[in-house]
Structure 1
Amino acid sequence: IAQSIAVTAEKKENMLFSEPVLFNKQVVVVRKEHCPNDVTELARKTVYACNGSPAVIRLENLSEDIGDSIFIVESDLGEEELIEKVRSEEIDYFVCDSRTANLYADSLLSCETVVGFSQSESWAFRKKSPHLKELFDHFMHTFKTTHEYQDLYNKYYK
């Protein structure tokens, strides 16, 4: 599978990660009329996240940080389906990465409230492949200085 993966402590136990390829953040997807001014307003609210996503860990940490409960529902539905459930008023809050949220955002939805800090996204390698990881890091370090990289980044991530 060719994609960048959000780096978490749990994933680091099982995989090697490249130097960060991108940085992303988790945001609250909500209908504009329910947009929280800040993340503390998620206290005592039911918030959806994709099962196993970094958003779950962020929400658990946020709940601890604000000293109040956030009722986290880990859903087996995909991000696009959960965003549609927010749009159709079936659910009020969904947390996902900002790139995904912005991809599906429209005039009804807000995705401006950030949950936590920026998170690095990297490529994952088997623990038994440190040489491959080093080769990839070297390639990316060089490739990031090219116009081709900038063109691809602007096309797919801006």
Structure 2
Amino acid sequence: MKQKKLVGIVLTLTIVIAIIVYIMMHYLNTPVHRDYIEVEKSGTLHIVTDLNPIGYFVSSDTVAGYNYELLQALQQYTNINFEVSVENSLEKSFEGLKTGKYDLVARNIPVNSSLRNEYSFTEAIVNNRLVLVQRKGEFNNGIEPIRNHLDLGKKTLHVAAGSPNILRLQNLSHEIGDTIFIVEDDTYQANQLALMVAAGEIDYTVCDIKTAESLIAKTPELDIKTDIGFTHFEAWAVRANSPILLDSLNVWINRFKATEEYSKILKKYYK
């Protein structure tokens, strides 16, 4: 009798715990509603970006970068305060977007159909393309760099965890009809993985051409001459349920793109 009662208590507790977990998971996966009106009332737009040699970096105690200067310029079109946080993990940035920790992910995000199903993206902030990062022959025991995509079959490429570039590599694997082994790194981002290639710690990664070009000046070991994809748009992201905020950002971006100041910033970092 006592055993049956104990079993009943255990089953009841299991059901209660399962219900609580379900509710919590549902809550965590449901984006908060915080559009332009809520942002304006709070007085602060919470922005997250990443540290990289092009978009946002610190040089001689001074913050600089394409995304940083673009944000600084857009600030003139609104009285809302821009509060910028740094998070190198794109996956964690998107999580923060969903929970309301951030309102805008202001980093160079290659826009693809999979991401469009979950988030809304601003007007393109820049055009870019993906390249294979590998070592030159003289720094790789005489092994010449890969030039044909077919030669990527059975090779291992390291990429940042949750990177949008993973989808491109998976598609490329289908295109060549062979397996490309993809290792997602939870610690390092694209520019750091490129430096690991130069050091011989890993053999291959992928990186956008602009970031890659900024690295080869200091790392002559690297070869970045093999394209992995065509030119693509990169943009910033907001929650899918923030259409007014998205529209406001696009108005600011398009207005600033028409200025001479924008041309100077673009030339400074991308020409």
Equivalence map 1:102-113=2 (5 Å): 102-105=213-216, 106-113=219-226
Confirm or deny that 1:55 pairs with 2:165.
yes
Paired amino acid for 1:151: K
Confirm or deny that 1:28 pairs with 2:138.
no
Q: Secondary structure at the match of 1:116?
A: coil
Paired amino acid for 1:5: I
Percent identity (aligned): 39
Tell me which of the two structures has the higher relative contact order, counting C-alpha pairs closer than 8 angstroms and 6 or more residues apart.
1
The runs of 4+ residues in structure 1 deviating greater than 3 Å are none
Inter-partner Cα distance in structure 2 for 1:145 and 1:39: 39
Deviation of the 1:64 alpha carbon: 0.3
Deviation of the 1:79 alpha carbon: 2.3
Is the 1:4–1:124 Cα contact (8 Å) retained in structure 2? Answer: no
- The equivalent residue for 1:144 is 257
Confirm or deny that 1:85 pairs with 2:189.
no
- The equivalent residue for 1:9 is 113
Gaps of 5+ in 1: none
The one of 196, 208, 220 equivalent to 1:97 is 208
- TM-score of the superposed pair, with normalisation by structure 2: 0.55
Equivalence map 1:58-69=2 (5 Å): 58-69=168-179
Inter-partner Cα distance in structure 1 for 2:179 and 2:119: 32
The one of 125, 129, 138 equivalent to 2:242 is 129
Q: CA RMSD in A?
A: 1.6
Is the 2:159–2:189 Cα contact (8 Å) retained in structure 1? Answer: no
Deviation of the 1:126 alpha carbon: 1.8
Q: Secondary structure at the match of 2:248?
A: helix
Inter-partner Cα distance in structure 2 for 1:127 and 1:51: 22
Deviation of the 1:122 alpha carbon: 1.2
Inter-partner Cα distance in structure 1 for 2:212 and 2:152: 18
Paired amino acid for 1:50: A
Deviation of the 1:35 alpha carbon: 1.5
Gaps of 5+ in 2: 1-47, 49-105, 138-143
The one of 138, 154, 157 equivalent to 2:267 is 154
- Superposed CA deviations along residues 55-78 of structure 1, whole A, max 9, x for unmatched, are 211111101001011111111222
- Superposed CA deviations along residues 2-34 of structure 1, whole A, max 9, x for unmatched, are 323221222212221112121111111111113
Structure (1 or 2) with the larger CA radius of gyration: 2
